[in-house]
Structure 1
């Protein structure tokens, strides 16, 4: 009888040990893993910021684990929007294309802002622009976490443009991105345009398919295109702006309230730092271009202001049917 009791006690001890071991081996609550995709190269400032975001989120004590996918590893900007709506990507830092909603093209309005103070105001929470962007993305199934204004955009070219100080004909055909507002604005600046993907722009310039391009800040011009060009005109016609946005499926079903609060705060802080960085970075990279041998063609503030006034007067009315006069009036009220 004692042998039987001993065997039963031993079995109980073994069973209890197995249960305890299983409990100890299983975390009370597994960390939530978020996939964050971006379009920036690993050595760009925006990627440096994203790496800091990863550290901040993982160290916030709310059980988040971050996996970063930079440099378009998970697809183009258009593809990232679709995948994020579906929830296969959790958070993105990318340019927001207007292929799903033409109103989102307000981020490509020519001369939307004309200086860094206006840049900070318009691309921050509280502006009409930001509110419209937030609402339209929400309807698509995306949660806006911040807009990053990453510098002003000028025109680079492999030959000297004519009438570069005015909106007169430039005698050049340059690459432009797919937004209708960008095409019309660039044409009203005096250029002929051809739509070419970003990845094909360098060989297109180098091979003479186009004479140059619009769509790059001084930094991007220096890091990516300096070997293919001879001139850069700092028109400041557009703002290179990207957005931090999350999948609403992730936001509503995958995250708890504490996690959402931390994510909101971390991304808002990151986005707010971009304007000051842009101010310094644009100036530094114009100097780098000149040191490399690219001629930066000067414009006075008065000349740039005259171009901006003329382009707004010509281009913005052409966009009323596409974007809506009420939308444009709200954006104008920010200025």
Structure 2
């Protein structure tokens, strides 16, 4: 792919794995929002299928504005989105899969699951019915109706369509490099709002584009795993070298001689114990400076690493 074709999407229509998608995309639009229920434990309304998203978080995924669970000022936006845009989409794809029902009480979990699988299968097959909007055109209208001309669709990993993707964020979201399953939505929203995290994600996307064009998904997965292992190995080695260097500095023969000499000179005025303490403080100060300098170098290297977004996000969600 030429560099002129590098136009990563910021919006994804998402079949599943909403948390993973929310790490790599600015806007995440669930494709099944036909379910909604209150949860006192969460203190919010849970929306969607197959994964329920708190409406405060869903608000941030849709338009970038986090909901307020005290005033529920976001609820109107989420409800409007669900009852208007999404219902229009659900009605348009009804010939392919029945996502929307006037009375959800009459639908079982099996019914919902089967219909959602039908939607997936129709999309994969690029299905069309005479006189009816083609399935992928319905997806396009759904995104465009919300103001997104450029978007991509994140398909479930189980479909086996995880090969090389033109959009780096799609590739990243399918690699499972970051386990977000146990993360709280609060943690994810904070990451999404962090400017430095966005910069590191942009660098990671560019790295994926430059290094893995036309590569198989298996190759990308193995190569990134190797790079991650190398990063961890270098980090550990850097820490060990810093420790050994500091010990070497402290135990250096010349440094010890200087310490003793300084201690004797100062001892003439303040006694030998005071003198030795002052001399030792000088050497310990040198060690502290050495450690600080090396620690700073390590932090610079880690922050500028192509995969920094992965490591920092793992740490933030742990």
Higher RCO, 1 vs 2 (CA within 8 Å, ≥6 residues apart): 1
Interval containing the TM-score (normalised by the shorter chain) = under 0.3
The two structures have a TM-score, normalised by structure 1, of 0.21
Q: Which has the larger radius of gyration?
A: 2
The two structures have a TM-score, normalised by structure 2, of 0.22
